[in-house]
Amino acid sequence: MNRGRGWWRVYQAVRYQGVRWLLFRAVYAAKRRTGWFRFRFPIAAWQHEPAGRIREGLSPVAGPRGDGLGSPQAVCRAERILAGRQLWFSRHEFEVGFPPDWFYNPWDAASVSPPAAAMREAAVASTGHVERAHWSQIGDFAAGDIKGVWEQSRFGFVYPLVRAFAHAPDARYVEAFWEALEDWQEKNPPHCGVHWKCGQEIALRMIAWTFGFLAFRAHPATTCRREALLAEMLDVSARRIEGNLGYALSQKNNHGVSEATGLLTAGHLLSRPAWAARGRRLLETLAEELIYADGSFSQHSANYHRLMLHLYVWAIRLDQAAGQTLSVEAVDRVRRAGVWLRTLLCPETGQVPNLGGNDGAHLLDLTDLGYGDFRPTVQAVGLVTENRRWLPPGPWDELADWLGLSDDASGGGERVPEPAGGSWQEFADGGYAVWRADSLVAMLRCPRRFRHRPSQQDLLHFDLWHQGRNLLRDAGAYSYHCEEPWAGYFASSAAHNTIRFDDRDPMPRISRFLYGGWPTGEVDLTDTVVTARFRDHRGVDHRRRVERTAGGFVVSDEIGGDFREAVLRWRLDPDQAYDVAGASCRSPRFTLAVAVQPPETAATFRLAEGWESLYYQEKTPLPVFEVRVGAGCRRLITEIAVAR
């Protein structure tokens, strides 16, 4: 049974990922087992020898004083950082000292911090506990969710330190930046330990290091010795990325974009033209491959879409400062990706649907607006790709200002008007249909086909926003390493506004991040109606028709095939009170009324408890209006009336 299941997984992986991908993964696994990576990247001591001075005239960041940057909130955050209070995933605060304990994982019962004796030598990863092993010997989940221990080494605290210094120039913030770098270097010898395992993590902290250095370069605390220390850290980090780029590129996602940006960053700062050129070529290739012509992105995730845009905006600005530029085609793909994000944006709040995977990444966190507000990214993309604002001026401008994309840099170009509304707009390459008008933003997930691996079981999910409230919503991701039922719940069809058949998902799971049975779909649009259909791997048909009406929307679900039971779920805004009366669910803001056909079909209606995750490693309850029908049902019609 298990052997058959194993061959089935291999077949599915080859079918959807390709033979080359499977062969690469097999060779990569062999390299880990045989110690090839330990030979290629031996654990070593820092040399403390200059790797060359960091190039002058590269700063894409604004001056650290007198430019209206930073804020009192940034100062408060910086003071908490210096007091040892650090944030995980823009949400969870823990006391870990400063410099922080780089090996502390709040979601692991046993810290991955090694014993003192092992600090000075490499040891083998023991069962359930990460020691000071070579990075290739450390499993992703040997000591709980590895993202928990990685988080502080992304150096996300650098951005509030820089913003605090801009608002209130206190030398302690600059000194804290350098103390953290010095401590990290002491505790993390090259290629030893968990923080050398992932090239993307290495690249993200290289960007944070660079941002802090460019902002603090003129301060007396930035000595020649410290500059040389950073140069060596960037040099070793870039060599680690360069020597294992194939793994990141094989994932067809942000890992390759991150590592290419890391190479570009080190190449410019250390005057290594070959690194900068290779990073630029990869970014151009990946823009063509992973950003689709309609602006959607290979990871099918709103948050990873933002991370990708932050990486490209940073790379474009750093290139420009060095007198270089990405290709016109690559910049245009970035522009289209920004348009995609702007189209999904709720204008009142800056939020977007809680779409796809989400590990809490927020790279260029340079405003007070918070993790859920995507307006800073949209504004920066408009300025870097079109030299004009896409949104009116506001507090979301600060990210663009830090990157030198203020009105002076853009020539004061006119603001782009709101995206055209009043009709359905399809992003066919990624599989989305969006409606915008009358304080309404609606999205239907309707892929015609998948070019890259699906992120979640969100086929035909319907998301609805009205006057800044997410009335019908996605569940999010919660955690990539947790116990059941949570491990399977958040990515499942039960966590989306769609129909689930026989308590199973439409795509069978192959591994933690890979599904088989990718369906092909059909989509048809008019100004007021979008219709999408797919058939799952067991032959069950689902056809969803969404029509805009004077009072809201009508969602008609036609179902067919061999199933015993179907459950339609509408995941509701948890900040409202609901009253269920028969087939209707009412709140002060909107009403759902469901009709079942044939009328004699047995159906049950109830308000159930569901869950959502707005931040990584946090889940909160929300109400779900469930309609449960048997095999005789052929259609469910939901009328959604929105209060004016």
Domain end (from 240, 274, 304): 240
Same domain for 338 and 465, yes or no, is no
Same domain for 437 and 326, yes or no, is no
Instruction: Give, as one character, the DSSP assignment of residue 530.
Output: E
Per-residue pLDDT reduced to its tens digit, 199-218: 999 999 999 999 999 999 99
Same domain for 401 and 524, yes or no, is no
Per-residue pLDDT reduced to its tens digit, 24-80: 888 888 988 999 999 999 999 998 776 667 888 887 775 544 467 999 999 999 999
Hunting for tokens 């209606």 — which residue is that? Answer: 605
Same domain for 316 and 229, yes or no, is no
Tell me the C-alpha distance between 229 and 186, whole Å: 11
Tell me the C-alpha distance between 200 and 286, whole Å: 15
Same domain for 404 and 440, yes or no, is no
Same domain for 207 and 348, yes or no, is no
Same domain for 275 and 236, yes or no, is no
Is the pLDDT at 143 greater than 80? The verdict is no
Per-residue pLDDT reduced to its tens digit, 551-571: 999 999 999 999 999 999 999
Contact (CB, 8 A) for 540 and 560: yes
pLDDT at site 142: 59
Q: For the ranges 37-51, 82-96, 533-547, 621-635, which has the lowest average pLDDT? A: 37-51
Per-residue pLDDT reduced to its tens digit, 303-359: 999 999 999 999 999 999 999 999 999 999 999 999 999 999 999 999 999 999 999
Q: What type of residue sits at position 612?
A: E
Task: Specify the CATH number for the domain of residue 622.
Answer: 2.70.98.70
Q: For the ranges 58-67, 142-151, 295-304, 582-591, which has the lowest average pLDDT? A: 58-67
Is the pLDDT at 122 greater than 50? The verdict is no
Residue 480 placed within a domain: yes
Same domain for 568 and 633, yes or no, is yes
pTM for the full predicted model: 0.94
pLDDT at site 119: 31
Per-residue pLDDT reduced to its tens digit, 88-117: 999 999 999 999 999 999 987 444 444 333
pLDDT at site 27: 86
* Average pLDDT for 388-393: 94
- Which is more confident, 163 or 405? 163
Contact (CB, 8 A) for 615 and 89: yes
For the stretch 80-84, contacts whose Cβ atoms lie closer than 8 Å and that sit 24 or more positions apart, written own/partner, are 81/157, 81/160, 81/161, 81/176, 82/172, 82/173, 82/176
Number of domains making up the chain: 3
Contact (CB, 8 A) for 190 and 143: no
Q: State percent of the chain over pLDDT 90.
A: 79
pLDDT at site 304: 98
Tell me the C-alpha distance between 390 and 90, whole Å: 26
* Average pLDDT for 236-247: 95
Contact (CB, 8 A) for 471 and 586: no
Domain end (from 211, 240, 269): 240
Instruction: Give, as one character, the DSSP assignment of residue 543.
Output: E
Mean pLDDT of the chain: 90
Sheet holding 603-615, edge to edge: 499-501, 565-571, 618-630, 603-615
Tell me the C-alpha distance between 496 and 476, whole Å: 9
In the structure, what pLDDT confidence band is assigned to residue 128 with cuts at 50, 70 and 90? Answer: very low
pLDDT at site 20: 81
For residue 278, the enclosing domain spans 244-415
Tell me the C-alpha distance between 389 and 405, whole Å: 10
Residue 54 placed within a domain: no
Same domain for 251 and 234, yes or no, is no
Is the pLDDT at 160 greater than 90? The verdict is yes
Contact (CB, 8 A) for 220 and 178: no
Which of 602, 585, 544 lies closest to 594, judged by CA? Answer: 585
pLDDT at site 23: 83
Is the pLDDT at 161 greater than 70? The verdict is yes
Per-residue pLDDT reduced to its tens digit, 410-420: 445 567 777 76
Residue 264 placed within a domain: yes
CA atoms within 13 A on the CB side of 524: 6
CA atoms within 13 A on the CB side of 543: 10
pLDDT at site 413: 59
* Average pLDDT for 278-293: 98
Tell me the C-alpha distance between 391 and 409, whole Å: 16
CA atoms within 13 A on the CB side of 601: 23
Is the pLDDT at 129 greater than 60? The verdict is no
pLDDT at site 177: 98
* Average pLDDT for 500-514: 91
pLDDT at site 232: 96
In the structure, what pLDDT confidence band is assigned to residue 506 with cuts at 50, 70 and 90? Answer: very high
Q: State percent of the chain over pLDDT 70.
A: 92
Residue 34 placed within a domain: no
Q: For the ranges 1-5, 106-110, 432-436, 543-547, which has the lowest average pLDDT? A: 1-5
- 511 strand-pairing partners: 514
**Residue 122: exposure state from Cβ atoms within 10 A (0-12, 13-18, ≥19):** middle
Tell me the C-alpha distance between 204 and 478, whole Å: 22
Residue 295 placed within a domain: yes
Same domain for 446 and 566, yes or no, is yes
Residue 39 placed within a domain: no
Same domain for 387 and 445, yes or no, is no
- Which is more confident, 228 or 9? 228
Instruction: Give, as one character, the DSSP assignment of residue 110.
Output: S
Instruction: Give, as one character, the DSSP assignment of residue 199.
Output: H
Token readout for 471 is: 């009335």
Is the pLDDT at 407 greater than 70? The verdict is no
Tell me the C-alpha distance between 602 and 342, whole Å: 43
Residue 18 placed within a domain: no
Domain end (from 415, 442, 461): 415
Token readout for 329 is: 């085609």
Residue 297 placed within a domain: yes
Contact (CB, 8 A) for 187 and 101: no
Q: For the ranges 2-11, 267-276, 610-619, which has the lowest average pLDDT? A: 2-11
Same domain for 384 and 467, yes or no, is no
Tell me the C-alpha distance between 433 and 448, whole Å: 11
